Structure 1
Amino acid sequence: MTAPALVALAHGSRDPQSAATIKALVDQVRALRPDLRIEPAFLELARPSFGTVVDKLVRAGYDEIVVVPLLLTEAYHAKVDVPAAIAEATSRHQGLQIRATRILGLETAFLEVLDRRLRTALKEARVRELDALVLAAAGSSDALANQAVARLARLWSSRHRLPTVAAFASAAPPTTGEAVRQFRAEGRRHIAVGSLFLAPGAHPDRAAELALEAGAVAVSAPLGADPEVARTILARYAVGAVELVPV
């Protein structure tokens, strides 16, 4: 019996580095599970589209697909866009079963990835001292999504014993620039920003720009194609595949 195909579904960006990063991440997942059919797809702004990937898998003989949404918070894209894309694709293929898993979410283990990215940024900037941190995320009109980022910021604060605040690239205050300026107003001068984004794009670029303009000493790269993220994708897939098994 053929295992369900895995589609890693990202939002998409006009920045070509974003799609390249997602595809590199999928390559890492494939390396961990070479026995599975694993494909990247995008909701918008990049190719291949989700519908195109589903059509290709159906032509290849797959009638079960597990979709892992590559989203960090339970906001609009997770609640509306992903279900709509799945409903549209399912309606075009009789007998096709598509199961969406939980989003990637804000796993505590991702703080390890964040730390690695930030250490690299600090080394490149030749910074050896920190007295505050800012956790930068996309931001949402969904208050619960923003609260999830704030909770992770508190965990990151405890981990490093440094004051830490969450900041957002859109839809919610504060911006990274505002967060950095607030710390500087308190007398802190060595403030670094961790980028809680999966891949490059307009939001992480804007967050970095505002933070550096305000005086941040370093801004990390997004989480990117990291083995920890790849393992999380496979963990989500495993649950989704079991849910497709008839009871």
Structure 2
Amino acid sequence: MTAPTATTALLTLSHGSRHPEAAANVMALTHAAGELAGAPATAAHLEFNDPPLDEAARSLAAQGVREAVVVPLLFTEGYHQRIDVPAALAQASAASGVRLHQARGLGTGEDMARLLAERVPEGTDTVLLYSVGSSDERANAAVADLARRVGELTGCTAKVAYATRGEREPVGSDGNQEVVVPLFVSPGLLLDRLDEDAGHRGGESRQVLPPLGEALAGIVSHRYAEVAHA
């Protein structure tokens, strides 16, 4: 593969969401990452939101961009990362003439563990990492391991729950302070349900943190640089 040039653009690729605020939040993250990377940046989505990747790539081509690094805004090596993303890149590159280079996704590595740990307030007893979940058990295991490492970094008891499994972790009445850390890039309908659930717990000590959003800009910029400056 030909090495990317100094003018290589940054394209983020999210799964997409029906939540009305999701696309704007992804674009804000993308712009923040682009500023850190010193690169022109725009967002695309696999489904639910516009633009799809081929349309975003054609827009870049119209601006004279010939190469872009695509950073999937995905946390695990599930079906979307392994199958959907490469297929979308191939289609978009053929449709636009822009050479697209696939970067690593957000992942569940040490940089993500540190980022999540930094969001946990002092005085927290239990951290619940709340993930969408996957049909791939290896992806779910990677999230569970991430939760364990966040627990080690914070000194908190660590738990994990998967939204698509309908899991609802109980809150104890022993006065412990539990913080839910959503493994979400942007607002989502599954996350809204968790907020509603927390709101009906009558004073029990559970705090739901916001989605990661622009806090991911450094990781996205680094994923871009791994490819653009290789």
TM-score if structure 2 supplies the norm length? Answer: 0.85
Q: Tell me, in whole angstroms, the C-alpha distance in 2 between the residues paired with 1:240 and 1:14.
A: 31
Contact residue 69 and residue 101 of structure 2 kept, 8 A: yes
Counterpart Cα distance in 1 of 2:136 and 2:35: 35
Match of 1:149 among 136, 143, 146: 143
AA at the equivalent of 1:108: E
Partner residue in 1 for 2:210: 221
CA distance in 1, matches of 2:40, 2:123: 45
Structure 2 matches for 1:73-84, cutoff 5 A? Answer: 73-84=76-87
Q: Is the CA contact 2:111–2:219 (under 8 Å) kept in the aligned structure 1? A: no
Which residue number corresponds to residue 104 of structure 1? 106
Question: Could you say which residue in structure 1 is the equivalent of 2:74?
Answer: 71
Contact 1:180 1:216 (8 Å CA) reproduced: no
Rounded to whole Å, the distance in 2 between the matches of 1:140 and 1:104 is 16
Q: C-alpha distance in 2, partners of 1:64/1:240?
A: 11
**5+ residue gaps, structure 2:** none
The 1:2/1:190 distance shift into structure 2, 3 A limit, reads: closer
Distance 2:55 2:177 in 1: 47
- Ranges in structure 1 where 5+ consecutive residues have no aligned partner: 120-127
Determine if contact 1:6/1:66 at 8 Å carries over to the other structure: yes
Aligned match of 1:30 in 31, 34, 41?
34
Structure 2 distance, partners of 1:210, 1:230, is 29
Distance in 2, Cα, partners of 1:130 & 1:240: 37
What is the identity, as a one-letter code, of the residue corresponding to 2:10? L
Percent identical pairs in the alignment equals: 34
1:237 corresponds to 2:228:
no
Q: Give the Cα separation in 1 of the matches to 2:95 and 2:34.
A: 27
Structural RMSD (CA)? 2.4
The alpha-carbon deviation at position 231 of structure 1 amounts to 1.9
Distance 1:242 1:30, change over 3 A: closer
Q: Secondary structure at the match of 1:61?
A: coil
- Aligned pair 1:3/2:7, yes or no? yes
Worse-superposed segment, 213-222 or 5-14: 213-222
Distance in 2, matches of 1:211 and 1:111, equals 24
SS in 1 for 2:214: coil
> Structure 1: how far apart are the matches of 2:56 and 2:83?
19
Q: Distance in 2 between matches of 1:162 and 1:32?
A: 32
What is the aligned residue count?
224
The answer to whether the 8 Å contact 1:117/1:222 transfers is no
Residue 15 of structure 1 is matched in structure 2 by 19
Query: Structure 1, residues 78-116: CA drift from partner, whole Å, max 9, x if none?
Result: 12221121121123245x421111111123333444345
8 A Cα contact 1:114 1:195, kept in partner? no
1:165 aligns with 2:152: no
Partners of 1:218 and 1:224 in 2: CA distance: 18
Aligned to 1:180: 170
Deviation for aligned residue 1:233: 1.3
- 1:77 and 1:86 mapped to 2: Cα distance? 12
Contact (CA 8 Å) 2:67, 2:100: kept in 1 or not?
A: yes
Code of the residue aligned with 2:210 in structure 1: it is: A
Tell me the residue number matched to 2:193.
Answer: 206
Matching of residue 40 in structure 1 with residue 43 in structure 2:
yes
Equivalent of residue 182 in structure 2, options 195, 198, 204:
195
